[in-house]
Amino acid sequence: MSNWTISTAFYAVDSSFISVGGGVVGEVITSDITPLTIPTDSNGKMIPCGILELRGFTDMGGLVDPATFLCWNNPGILGAALRVYWRDIQPTSPNVYDWSYIDAVAAQAALNNKMFSIAIGNGFATPSWASGYGFSTFLTDGSGVIPAPWDPIYQGLVTTFVQALADRYDSNPNLSYVIITGMGWQSSSELCRTNADISRLSATTFNGVSGFQLWVNDYPIYCDIWRKAFTNTTLILNFHDENDVNQDLDLAEPLFYSELITMGPKFGIKWNALISNTPVPAKLPYKIIANITATNVTGLQYNHAGANDNGGFDNAASHGINVGAHFIEVYDPGIVVDVVGSEGNYYQASDGLIDFVNFLNKIPEVPAELDPGLLIED
């Protein structure tokens, strides 16, 4: 078992950072700074919004101390987007769970009045002991041999794990959203990342079902697994990036809208490909985000700290905000570095200014029941 201690030092620093008469931040006296307030839903759960620090999948295995996350000490970052490999939580046995890392993150979030989210990496990150249960496998180019997501044996193992995860964290008021996983190669909903993957899937038959129909059939099964376990927390379907093959995205569109009707306003979407020059209308996940932003939570992930993105985070964030995203995950929270303005309305990125108050005001007004007529795809 790994152990993390909960440090109060970051809370003390954060408190002086945003309190009256607490010193100078850049050119702004901190007495001028108004910290952002995270809105909550009717059950007291924090609503996904603003900028979150995106943490690496290897943090838990690498014994990274959650107290060192920069988000706790930065009033412009509203929390941590946590990613954890399933194999790190259950490394040795189906009956033993190591929750210490997520517990430590949850404690820091509560201590600093910020949110956190959870994305579980399964697929190739499934615990090695699970293979002893005899599920079938599928070969992928990017992730090697992974459990076949359509195999009921594997689905049962995922169900047991997800329920245990929900039993521990679903009622946590700081847990803002959870990523639905299981049908894809790791933490996204996509399974095929190359044409070779498509060819292998097309040649696969299991229990009389072949090709992409296998993935189509298991998609709602995994959504149902997470929906039944997490009854209080917003669930997000993750689209990986614009380089994944189009067949996944084309099939995912009607599947997503079908689940939207089933799961209602506690269901949303995130796309992991936000860059400053992305042609917004041309990308399917952007179209979905724009379509449902008034009723459901939507988010984006800044693409690998803006790798190959010459336009900068301010332009990228503007794209995301304008298309209707309610939250953005960033690998490098240092891109949000200062607070400017007498009302504290703006948080300064390293290369520009973003109106985060306007950003936070875009939280959807969730209806009691989703109107299917709202779902106009074009």
Q: What residues does each domain of the chain span?
A: 25-369
pLDDT at 32: 40
> Alpha helices of 301-345 — where are they, by DSSP H?
313-323
pLDDT at 77: 85
Q: What average pLDDT is seen over the chain?
A: 78
Other beta carbons within 10 angstroms of residue 144's beta carbon come to 11
The first and second tokens of residue 52, run together, are 């979150």
Measured CA to CA, the distance from residue 343 to residue 180 in angstroms comes to 38
Q: What value does the mean pLDDT take over residues 369-375? A: 39
Full DSSP string of 144-165: EEEE-TT-HHHHHHHHHHHHHH
Question: What amino acid occupies position 184?
Answer: G
pLDDT in tens, 322-371: 888 889 898 876 666 554 443 344 455 544 445 554 555 555 544 344 34
pLDDT at 340: 44
**Residues near 110 by beta carbon (within 8 Å), at least 6 away in sequence:** 174
CA distances from 40 to 7, 12, 234, 249 (A): 25, 24, 12, 32
Cβ(257)–Cβ(375) under 8 Å? yes
pLDDT at 317: 76
Half-sphere exposure of 17 (CA within 13 A, CB side): 20
Cβ(175)–Cβ(105) under 8 Å? no
Cβ(78)–Cβ(51) under 8 Å? yes
pLDDT in tens, 253-284: 888 889 999 998 899 999 887 876 655 556 77
CATH number for the segment(s) 25-369: 3.20.20.80
| pLDDT, greater one: 350 or 311 | 311
Measured CA to CA, the distance from residue 40 to residue 184 in angstroms comes to 31
Query: What are the phi and psi torsion angles at 257 (to 5°)?
Result: -65, -35
pTM for the structure as a whole: 0.83
* Sole residue written with tokens 């038959």: 205
pLDDT in tens, 101-113: 999 999 999 999 9
